[in-house]
Amino acid sequence: MTQASAPVRWQETPPPQDLSYIRAVWPKVNQPINGIILCQRPTGCWGHPIEGENFRFVGCIGKDEGCDHCAYHRPLRWAGYVSILDPKTGRIQLACLTKEAAKNCPPLCDKRRQLRGMCLHLARAGASKFGRVHAEVSTGPAGYPLPKPPDVAHRLLLLWGLYAKWYDIADIGGAK
């Protein structure tokens, strides 16, 4: 078989992940998160923890802008998001940080640190699903091919269903 004569679009590497399906992941009991960091710095914001079968967090747009969770008097907390590549699956994910996890991990708090290419390890301590989240940043593998970092704030607005409130709905699902 000669590739040059076949009417097929050959491509050595797979296409990049469709970021429409990017997930925000919290470490669960006995399910730590390990990945190579794609962004330079975490994206942090204030929002509401939502307790359900799986813990979620939704950014707060403020009571005056119609935040449903403020209306229910849900507590306001800080969370940080770090885009990572899971080297086992090759998938891009948004790893979630609690305030304590970020505070106790100096590289995550130091605004001058460039995190891209380093490894992030997140684990939940103890046996409770509300156990403390512990974060560690360590040296990453040299020469590992990394995809472009996703626009984390844009992805979060889409995940939270807040994007359409402010932006043209036709943009949703864009490759940003």
- Shortest distance, CB of residue 34 to Zn ion, whole angstroms? 32
- Shortest distance, CB of residue 56 to Zn ion, whole angstroms? 14
Query: Which structure tokens are listed for 103?
Result: 């505070």
3-state secondary structure 73-135: CCCCEEEEEEEEEECCCCEEEEEEEEHHHHHCCHHHHCCCCCCCCCEEEEEECCCCCCCCEEE
State yes or no: residue 69 binds Zn ion (CB under 5 A).
Answer: yes
State yes or no: residue 96 binds Zn ion (CB under 5 A).
Answer: no
- Shortest distance, CB of residue 144 to Zn ion, whole angstroms? 38
- Shortest distance, CB of residue 65 to Zn ion, whole angstroms? 9
Half-sphere exposure of 25 (CA within 13 A, CB side): 24
Task: Compare residues 24 and 70 and give the one whose CB is closer to Zn ion.
Answer: 70
State yes or no: residue 79 binds Zn ion (CB under 5 A).
Answer: no
* Pairing mode of beta strands 91-98, 43-50: unpaired
Query: Which structure tokens are listed for 131?
Result: 């156990």
State yes or no: residue 58 binds Zn ion (CB under 5 A).
Answer: no
State yes or no: residue 70 binds Zn ion (CB under 5 A).
Answer: yes
Task: Compare residues 48 and 124 and give the one whose CB is closer to Zn ion.
Answer: 48
Query: Which structure tokens are listed for 65?
Result: 């802008």
Question: Applying CB under 5 A, which of residues 36, 38, 60, 95 lies at the interface with Zn ion?
Answer: 60
Tell me which residues touch Zn ion (CB under 5 A): 60, 67, 69-70
